Chains A and B, each alone.
Chain A
Amino acid sequence: MLKRQHMPIVVTVALFILIFIAGSFRYTGFFSAQVLLNLLIDNAFLLIVAIGMTFVIVSGGIDLSVGSVIALTTMISATLLQDGWPAGVVIPLVLFIGAVFGAGMGAIIHYFKIQPFIVTLAGMFLARGLCYVISTNTITITDPFYTSVAQTKVSLPGGTFISISVLIALLVFAAAFYLAHYTRFGRNTYALGGSEQSAVLMGLPVARTKVGVYMFSGFCSALGGVVFTFYMLSGYGLHAIGMELDAIAAVVIGGTLLTGGFGYVAGTLFGVLIQGVIQTIISFEGTLSSWWTRIVIGLLLFLFIVLQKLFSSRQLLQKRRA
């Protein structure tokens, strides 16, 4: 028997399968394992970022700075590599910067009780501005480690392949799944999103959890930025503009409630895949232009938000009757 709380995620998965099947019937060459894997290859960074965002949204907040942190990461990496720093130092350093950046925002949000929306907005400006302070031009990366990671293909049975970025993304996914459902930190995050007041009264470490959630999101954005650097092999201040919207859309389509307290990391995976499959269909169609992606994603966002609304109001009604 299907549990009621799994309904949103089932809808998401069903929608993904439906779109994929529809695409397979319509276009020749669409139904292949490689097309499916390409979804992951092209969206590995989005998946990583969206996973961090899932935690933030589950905790009842929002993080608008992710796109800018990606850009900042690509920029810092590119500059340092250009100056001859080894990749083994650069990558841990940018991950650390991302985590500290996130933790700083989390601390401001928690200790000064300012809305997450406005604090992360300031973070977005700051990170994007710092990119331009470093340089306004594109910096290409020629570091042998980065280029080799970018070109490596991990062969899978059946002649298919994935990139190293996908492996990283799947690793993050597994870690986040464990973190969300099998650790205290995960349970605290859900409790915080459900009701902060109750979480405080229960004696849960609200401060630590809240700062931790934003730190995790900052870390994920930086890691997404590293993967994005592998993908683009350049640093540029205009990279990943609007990525925060894609990440939020993926999380919402994945069935996470924007009011917090409810959602699954697994749903986010399918939210990302749905966005990817829509992009793929639009590129297969050929006559449709890229801006249709935005419109369709906007429509999906609308549908899912209304669905959530119906779903939660029905739940409330049932509670009241019981």
Chain B
Amino acid sequence: MKHHLFWPLTVLALLLLFNLLYDPSFFSIKIRDGHLYGTLIDILNFGAPLMLVAIGMTLVIATKGIDLSVGSIVAITGAMACLTISKGADQNALGLVLTAVGLSLALSLALGLWNGFLVAGVGIQPIIATLILMVAGRGIAQLITSGQIITVTSDRYEYIGAGALFTLPFSIFIVAAVFAAASLLTRKTAIGMFIEAVGNKPVASRLAGIRSRSVVIAVYLFCGLCAGIAGLILSSNVSSADGNNAGLWYELDAILAVVIGGTSLNGGRFYLAGTVIGALIIQTLTTTIYMTGVPPEITLVVKAFVVLVVCLIQSESFRKTLTHRWKTRRYPAEKELTRHA
């Protein structure tokens, strides 16, 4: 039995190794104006929103759910924050930026609560329940921005996504904080076990005395919040909000990151560290494709194959098909047995 991080780490290492051979300057990190610059730092910086969304998604998937609305939530919170700031007299005022951030995060929590309510309260399948917000969310985001791209000029707001702390991008610290909070909450308290129990068998865990409804709602709340923070980082990084394109296909990338990280879509098990590595793999892959000069559009095809291969490896019947032939060649009688079993 290998460690659950073995495969994700191997893939990441292979990707980095390829980059090292292709272009050694990939690993060079320079210090300019007291900030670190380099491709590796870029990967961390640009991958930050994806890592956040994927962390939230991991917990949702652990309860056997899925949240398709994260991309829309990213767009909505970015739009909300930029709208609030653009309405202010002094866009750089600390109070205004804090209000904007607070408002957007509250909104993302409300959206998460809505998803949780639909799944746990009304009892709709997660795919469908979150599909509603996925469809309507883009409309809401465009409603907030009135279909325009809102641009803000606020250094304080820009700090969230493009600022630097201790020479590193500030967004990395946000990810680290969220990751630490999620890991501590799920691994040092019983919450993680509750989540896995609900993902394994909702009914059994309810009979065992776990309030599965509250657990599910909490998980969607957390996922909404993560998507909200990601939306803030994304919009502040470019100092603008685009209701139509911000966070487009984020839900898919996040799900992909979670699956690559070793968390099964069937719920009941989750690996937060694996998810973060999964997100890094996706971001590194994207950067690699850009660096090697392959048309960036190929990324989608590569991602398609990665999803498929990872899922096939996880699929029990696929592994059986692979091992079956070679087993039956050795024991002909077994074939006879399985036929009657």
Residues of A that sit less than 8 Å from B by CB: 62, 108, 111-115, 117-119, 121-126, 128-130, 132-133, 136, 237, 242, 245, 248-249, 252, 258-259, 289-295, 297-299, 301-302, 305-306, 309
5 A-B pairs besides A111-B321, A119-B311, A289-B143 with CB distance below 8 A are: A113-B317, A252-B128, A289-B147, A306-B122, A309-B123
Most buried by A among B122, B123, B297, B318: B297
Residues of B that sit less than 8 Å from A by CB: 66, 122-125, 127-129, 131-140, 142-143, 146-147, 243, 252, 255, 259, 265, 295, 297-305, 307-308, 311-312, 314-318, 321
Tell me, rounded to whole Å, the shortest Cβ–Cβ distance linking A273 to chain B: 18
Residues on B with beta carbons closer than 8 Å to the beta carbon of A122: 304-305, 307-308, 311
Residues on B with beta carbons closer than 8 Å to the beta carbon of A245: 131, 134-135
A126/B304 contact (C-beta < 8 A), A132-B298, A294-B139 known: yes
Q: Is the CB of B297 within 8 A of A125?
A: no
Tell me, rounded to whole Å, the shortest Cβ–Cβ distance linking A96 to chain B: 21
A297/B307 contact (C-beta < 8 A), A121-B255, A132-B298 known: no
A114/B312 contact (C-beta < 8 A), A291-B142, A294-B135, A299-B136 known: yes
Instruction: Kindly identify which residue among B124, B137, B307, B314 contacts A309, using a CB–CB cutoff of 8 Å.
Output: B124
Q: Is the CB of B312 within 8 A of A305?
A: no
Chain A to chain B contacts (Cβ below 8 Å), 28 pairs: A62-B127, A108-B308, A111-B321, A112-B311, A112-B315, A114-B311, A115-B265, A117-B265, A118-B311, A121-B307, A124-B252, A125-B301, A126-B305, A129-B300, A129-B304, A133-B301, A237-B297, A242-B138, A248-B131, A258-B125, A291-B139, A291-B142, A294-B135, A294-B136, A298-B132, A298-B136, A305-B129, A305-B132
Cα of A131 to Cα of B252 in the assembled complex, Å: 18
Residues on B with beta carbons closer than 8 Å to the beta carbon of A305: 124, 128-129, 132
Q: Is the CB of A132 within 8 A of B300?
A: yes
Q: Is the CB of A114 within 8 A of B315?
A: yes
Q: Is the CB of B317 within 8 A of A112?
A: yes
Q: Is the CB of A291 within 8 A of B135?
A: no
Q: Chain B interface mostly helix, strand, loop or mixed? A: helix
A118/B259 contact (C-beta < 8 A), A112-B315, A132-B298, A298-B133 known: yes
Cα of A62 to Cα of B128 in the assembled complex, Å: 11
Chain B residue at minimal CB-CB distance from A292: B139
Residues on B with beta carbons closer than 8 Å to the beta carbon of A289: 142-143, 146-147
Cα of A117 to Cα of B266 in the assembled complex, Å: 12
Residues on B with beta carbons closer than 8 Å to the beta carbon of A128: 300
Most buried by B among A111, A132, A133, A302: A302
Q: Is the CB of B135 within 8 A of A129?
A: no
A125/B307 contact (C-beta < 8 A), A112-B317, A297-B135 known: yes
Cα of A114 to Cα of B317 in the assembled complex, Å: 9
Q: Name the 10 nearest CB pairs between A and B, nearest first.
A: A298-B136, A132-B297, A129-B300, A294-B139, A129-B301, A125-B304, A126-B304, A291-B142, A295-B139, A122-B307
Cα of A291 to Cα of B314 in the assembled complex, Å: 39
